[in-house]
């Protein structure tokens, strides 16, 4: 089995999780609180993160391969390289940046009912007005109190 | 000498923790969710690695930069920390970009 075939299975699993997140986001958008649910899964943030991750992957993968931390069977890789890094390696970065935010969105948020699917820091933060600001104040981060008055309109 | 790669990964992970705490991006945004995402993510990538190793696609290089400790055949101890770093970088980026896309809040949350 080639590296690309292996990647296809794992990327397919990632796609299924992302699909579940998209379905959840779509149903949430039509629900009672469209503004909040729209904050839940930010594909624009995923895209920007992907650019940053792919660049860092290109740099560090080349270093790691260059100093000999890892090696590849030349018969099982496509032969497409970014520098000396097999193109297949970038599937890990793509998988991470799609799978992890999708999982994050699918999991219920801290200290709220299952309906609050806000992002990690997508303007909700401690100021969502669902009681989270009280909890945040005890988390050892003093700045929480300065944020907690900004509950209104996280969407510009 | 065998600690160089592990030490570099630990320094990088420490940087991620510092950024996470300072800007409350991931564990400091929602520790329970972050824990679940991190464990699932690392396990997912370890399984991916193990298939790649089992199929003979890639393998550990013999270098003086690693401890030589292996958690499975051809799976170096350092790989677990590398995958944890991949997960942490990804979610810190996602958290940061998610906030930057909300200017009114980002100024209060990130500034000063």
Q: Distance between CA atoms of B69 and B77, rounded to whole angstroms? A: 6
Domain assignments of chain B as residue spans, ordered by start: 4-95
Residue A127, in any domain of the structure: no
Please give the residue range of the domain that contains residue A27: 3-106
Encode chain B (112 residues) as per-residue pLDDT tens digits.
Answer: 589 999 999 999 999 999 999 999 999 999 999 999 999 999 999 999 999 999 999 998 888 999 999 999 999 999 999 999 999 999 999 999 999 987 544 444 444 3
Chain A segment 71-100 residues within 8 A of B by beta carbon are: 71-73, 76-77, 92-93, 95-97, 99-100
How many structural domains comprise chain A? Answer: 1
Q: Confirm or reject contact between A27 and chain B (CB < 8 A).
A: no
Q: CA distances (Å), A87 to each of A94, A104, B54, B59, in order?
A: 11, 27, 20, 16
Q: How many whole angstroms separate alpha carbon A98 and alpha carbon B43?
A: 16
Note the Cα B16 to chain centre separation in Å: 8
CA distance A99 to chain B (A): 8
Asked, for residue A30, whether it belongs to a domain, the answer is yes
């Amino acid at each position: 089995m080639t590296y690309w075939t292996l990647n296809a299975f794992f990327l397919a699993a990632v796609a299924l999780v992302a699909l579940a997140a998209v379905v959840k986001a779509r149903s949430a958008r039509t629900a009672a609180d469209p503004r909040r649910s729209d904050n839940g899964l930010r594909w624009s943030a995923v895209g920007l993160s992907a650019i940053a991750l792919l660049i860092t992957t290109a740099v560090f993968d080349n270093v790691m391969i260059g100093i000999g931390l890892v090696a590849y069977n030349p018969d099982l890789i496509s032969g497409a390289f970014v520098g000396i890094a097999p193109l297949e390696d970038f599937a890990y970065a793509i998988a991470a940046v799609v799978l992890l935010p999708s999982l994050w969105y699918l999991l219920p948020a801290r200290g709220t009912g299952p309906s609050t699917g806000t992002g990690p820091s997508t303007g909700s933060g401690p100021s969502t007005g669902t009681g989270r600001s009280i909890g945040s104040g005890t988390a050892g981060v003093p700045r929480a109190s300065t944020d907690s008055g900004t509950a209104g309109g996280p969407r510009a | 000498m065998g600690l160089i790669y592990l030490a570099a990964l630990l320094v990088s992970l420490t940087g991620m923790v510092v950024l996470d705490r300072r800007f409350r991006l991931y564990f400091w945004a929602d520790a329970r969710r972050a824990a679940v995402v991190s464990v699932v993510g690392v396990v997912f990538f370890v399984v991916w690695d193990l298939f790649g190793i089992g199929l003979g696609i890639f393998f550990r290089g013999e270098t003086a930069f690693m401890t030589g400790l292996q958690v499975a055949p051809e799976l170096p101890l350092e790989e677990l920390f590398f995958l944890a770093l991949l997960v942490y970088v990804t979610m810190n980026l996602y958290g940061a970009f998610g906030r930057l896309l909300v200017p009114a809040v980002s100024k209060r949350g990130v500034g000063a």
